Amino acid sequence: MAIFLILAPYGVYAALLMVASATLSLAVGAVLCFAVVALDASRGRSIKILGAGSAVLFTALACYAAWINPAISSSTVRLTVDGGIFALSLGSMLLRTPFTLQYAIESVPAETAAMPGFLQANYVITGAWTLAAALMIVGNLMTLYVPGLPYWSGLAIAIAARNSALYFTRWYPAYRRLKEQAQAATGLAQQI
C-alpha cells in the first residue's frame, strides 16, 4: 500500500499529461503529493524527502506552466519531472539519507533497522531508483532529439525503468536476508 501512495502522484500526473494540459497534470500531481505528505503527518510519520521534494517540484512546474510558459511541451515537462526525481534521489544519497531509508525505518522492526547492512541496502535501493530516473531522462531526451522516434518509445523506457526499480525494491531486501542467513549458517558451521 505504501508504494502505491508514493507512486500515485507520478502515475496520475503521467496519465493526465497524455490527455490534459501540462498545468492541470502538474497541479493534480502537486495536490496528490501534498495529500500524501499530509497523510504521513496525520499518522505521526516523518515528512519524507521524496514526498516533500516532489510536492515542491510539481508546484513549481505547475506555476511555471500556468504563468510563464503555458505552451510548455509534454516532453519538456516529463524531462523536468524526471530530472527532479533524479536530483532528489541522488541528493538524498549525497546528504547521507537515502530517500528509501525514511520509508524502510517506518516499515521494519527496530532490530532490523539497527542491523549493519540496513543502511547499505537502502543506499543500493536508492541507487536503483536514481539509475531508473537517469534512464527515464535518457528516454525523454531520445524522444526530443532523435527525429522519427515514436513517442511511445520514451514511455516504454520510462515504464521499464520504473518497473525494474520497483521490482528491485521488493526483491533486494529478501535477497539480503537470505544472503545474511547463509553467511550466519556458514559462520556457525565453521565454529563447530
DSSP 16-59: HHHHS-HHHHHHHHHHHHHHHHHHHHHTTPPPPHHHHHHHHHHH
pTM of the model: 0.89
Whether 189 is covered by a domain: the verdict is no
Together in a domain, 177 and 90: yes
Together in a domain, 27 and 97: no
Range of the domain at 94: 73-183
The pLDDT of residue 67: 97
Q: Which of 69, 85, 115 is the last residue of a domain?
A: 69
Whether 190 is covered by a domain: the verdict is no
Together in a domain, 43 and 131: no
Together in a domain, 83 and 107: yes
Backbone angles phi, psi at 161, to 5 degrees: -65, -45
Digit-by-digit pLDDT tens for the chain (192 residues) are 577 788 899 999 999 999 999 999 999 999 999 999 999 999 999 999 999 999 999 999 999 999 999 999 988 999 999 999 999 999 999 999 999 999 999 988 888 888 878 999 999 999 999 999 999 999 989 988 888 888 788 889 988 999 999 999 999 998 988 888 787 777 655 666
For residues 75 and 58, what is the distance between their CA atoms, to the nearest angstrom?
15
Distances (CA, A) of 16 to 11, 26, 156: 9, 9, 17
End-to-end alpha carbon distance in the chain: 44
Together in a domain, 137 and 86: yes
Together in a domain, 60 and 108: no
Q: Which of 40, 69, 98 is the last residue of a domain?
A: 69
For residues 91 and 133, what is the distance between their CA atoms, to the nearest angstrom?
13
Together in a domain, 45 and 88: no
The number of folded domains in the chain is 2
Whether 148 is covered by a domain: the verdict is yes
For residues 179 and 6, what is the distance between their CA atoms, to the nearest angstrom?
28
The pLDDT of residue 149: 84
Together in a domain, 37 and 86: no
Helices 49-63 and 2-19 pack at an angle, to 10 degrees, of 20
Together in a domain, 153 and 133: yes
